[in-house]
Copies of this chain bind each other. A is one copy, B any other.
Amino acid sequence: MHPFTSDPTASVAHLGEVALIDDISKWLGPVSPSAPHGIGDDCAVLEPIASGRQILTVDSVSYGQHFDATVSPEDAGAKLIKRNLSDIAAMGGVPGPAVLALLSSSDLSMSWLEKFFVGIRQTCERYGVSLVGGDISSLAVSNFSAVLTLTGQAQSPKLRSTAKSGDHIYVTGTLGGSILGKHYTFEPRLAEGQWLAQTMHCNAQMDLTDGLAKDLKALLPVDSHAALDLDAIPIAPAAQSLAEQTGRPALEHACCDGEDYELLFTINTQVNRHAFETQWAEQFPQTELHHIGYIRPSSAMGSLIDMQTNTALPWTHGFEHLKSE
């Protein structure tokens, strides 16, 4: 469905901002509390968090970049919320209130926007997010971006920077080929992230958004490398399908494709691997867990090394925003 319309009476311009905000509040229903804890004042007033620390993340979706007219507006709206939820999951947090900025041209279709908010509402209801405020501003013709800032709380936020040399490296799910569908259908790994954050053995965690090869580097301590068991990297069926189309190895897709939205984390070496994996399987029988390697002291060969051949990984890049190809 196309987000823009040439019929002025079917566009957001026909309503103007004040009436539009009223409509958005109605579309959101219980997901939109009243001011001061929701839409309608200069700022939203947040309820104090029950315990732990407050965390904050921001992510966006833009027409022509993250979705196009072939994507349903519901899926685009849901994705905006889920991208942010995946960041909360990566810290082991529980999602809280959010604020939404819409940047749009006045030819945006009201019926498209209503469906976009159906996706937002359903996803917010499912994960306990409330939309407490926002902003609407104008852009030139046929442009639309939505930026969500999501709060959360975490008893003890799990960081990227606390991995240790020697740690086991794990990923959830399977990797690569997300562009064939999973970048909309993924489930933010909230329960898994929360459980890991409470596990003393988990030293560091993050979510995979730009591809394992790029993201893993963000988890490595200075003076370390990742020794990877390439046979253990879980290649998604979609990565296999994509490899047939692109002629590139499926493993390259698993290592370099973006938007996996899986958890990447490290477990300290004092842990009995078998015991940890058994515990995981009991807790999360539906969520695959894969031990893909170890953090090792730094190597002249680079930061990502194939542990079987002791050679540098051929694919060390991932998705780089803004970078020219």
Report yes or no: A322 in contact with B56, Cβ–Cβ below 8 A: no
The one of B90, B132, B145 that contacts A145, using a Cβ cutoff of 8 Å:
B145
Find residues 137-170 in chain A having any chain B CB closer than 8 Å to their own CB.
Answer: 137-140, 143, 145, 147, 149, 151-152, 154, 157, 159-161
CA distance A157 to B57 in the complex (A): 24
Are the CB atoms of A65 and B321 closer together than 8 Å? no
Contact (Cβ within 8 A) A60 B321: no
The count of identical subunits is 2
Residues of chain A from 71 to 123 with CB closer than 8 A to chain B in the complex? 87-88, 90-91, 93, 97, 99-101, 103-104, 106, 108
- When distances are taken between beta carbons in the complex, the residues of chain B under 8 Å from A54 are 45-46, 48, 54
Name the one of B17, B42, B133, B154 contacting A322, with C-beta atoms under 8 angstroms: B17
CA A60 to CA B104, docked complex, whole Å:
12
CB distance from A110 to the nearest CB of B (A): 11
* Cβ contacts under 8 Å, A149 to chain B: 56, 58, 99, 101, 149
CA distance A59 to B43 in the complex (A): 11
Closest residue on chain B to residue A8 by CB atoms: B324
Query: Shortest beta-carbon distance, A259 to chain B, in Å?
Result: 12
Asked whether B58 lies within 8 Å of A135 as measured between CB atoms, the reply is: yes
Cβ < 8 Å to B, chain A residues 40-68: 40-46, 48, 53-60, 62, 64-66
Q: How far is the CA of A321 from the CA of B106 in the complex (A)?
A: 9
The CA of A64 and the CA of B35, in the complex, are separated in Å by 32
